[in-house]
Amino acid sequence: MTQRGQARRRTASAIAELHGGVVSRAMLLDAGVDRWAVASEVRADRWALHGLRTVAVHTAALSREALRWRAVWEVGRSAALDGVSALEAAGLTCFDEETVHVSVDHEGHGGRRVSGVCVHQVRATRSSDVRAAGVPRVRPAVAAIRAAQWARSDRQAALVLCLAVQQRLVRAGDLVPLRWPGAHYGRSAFVRQVVEDIADGAHSLGELDFAALCRLHHLPTPERQVVRSGVAGRIYLDVRWRDCPLVVEVDGAQHRLGLAVSADNLRRNALAIDGETVLTIDLIGLRLQTAAFMRQVVTAYRALTGGGLGAAG
């Protein structure tokens, strides 16, 4: 083992330590390690190639951090982590996505095809929207919207938006004023609605025509925002039927903040003690699984009215 070989391995390892165990060929060349030296280390089974531009200074599987660097280097200029991959790099957890997502400017270089990487062409991303330190990645607010637009389903789209806000990677209010980045996607209207639900659940609930859902499922029209007197003063019920002790509470995002959960539980427990049946539906869930939740409402109404559905009004 020559001193020159030891020196270049120390140099490469020091650079790779900042990138999850990988280093680009351009970085190695700048450090005086040319392609012949790289080939020598690969032949000796000390290093491994992971594309045209990425070199691992080991032969083990790549870490998630290394895979992100590889994706950006291999795709090429203007590439940045985007969508759920940018959110994961920012700290997102509880979302399983093996593919690394990067975006490139659709007016310029389209990016190379790379295994394990999904390349999205987007309208020019402002430089202020890309984090300069560390692996290039789009800031969380823009990445969250794009992750939802690129999701495989509405359910996945809603999940990534909720997780990003719940884990405090982005404030819900920051999502609302965004111009909708990326290309035109068929899910844009749904994503807008979910963002509004998360940002202002109370307003969104007012916009939701629950009476229309009831008519669609052959239920009588319920009363909305019914005022009742409770042990702690006046309480407001989202939905209640006059001829049936059934209450439906539709929770927006604001119900999960601070002490709101405790207040809701106290209110619903008091209703149960008074003989009311209370069904709880989260607003996002109602949009994603409308039929399933409404079947529960119909079942409860039938049970409490002896099997009849009454007259729709």
Over residues 195-236, the pLDDT tens digits come to 877 776 545 555 557 888 888 999 998 887 777 766 556 767
Q: Is residue 146 part of a domain?
A: yes
* Number of domains composing the chain: 3
Residue 258 has pLDDT above 50, yes or no: no
72-76, 156-160, 180-184: the lowest-pLDDT one: 180-184
Percent of the chain with pLDDT over 90: 44
More confident residue, 191 or 125: 191
Distance, CA of 277 to CA of 294 (rounded, Å): 15
Judge whether 212 lies within some domain.
Answer: yes
- Note whether 178 and 70 are same-domain residues: yes
pLDDT-derived band of residue 125, with 50, 70 and 90 as boundaries? low
24 and 109 belong to one structural domain: no
Q: 266-303: per-residue pLDDT in tens?
A: 777 777 777 889 898 888 888 888 899 999 999 999 99
User: Of 154, 173, 199, which residue sits at a domain end?
Assistant: 199
| CATH number (domain holding residue 219) | 3.40.960.10
Residue where a domain terminates, one of 39, 56, 73: 56
Instruction: Please determine, for residue 102, whether its predicted confidence score (pLDDT) is greater than 70.
Output: yes
CB-based contacts of 252-256 (< 8 A; 24+ apart in sequence): 252/197, 252/200, 252/201, 252/202, 252/204, 252/205, 252/283, 253/162, 253/165, 253/172, 253/197, 253/198, 253/199, 253/201, 253/283, 254/200, 254/201, 254/202, 255/201, 256/166
The boundaries of the domain holding residue 40 are: 3-56
Query: Domain check: are 117 and 77 in the same one?
Result: yes
Comparing CA positions, the residue from 238, 223, 231 lying closest to residue 283 is: 238
pLDDT of residue 255: 47
224 is a domain residue: yes
| Count of CB atoms situated within 10 Å of the CB of 44 | 10
pLDDT for 182 equals 46
> How many beta carbons lie within 10 A of that of residue 240, not counting itself?
20
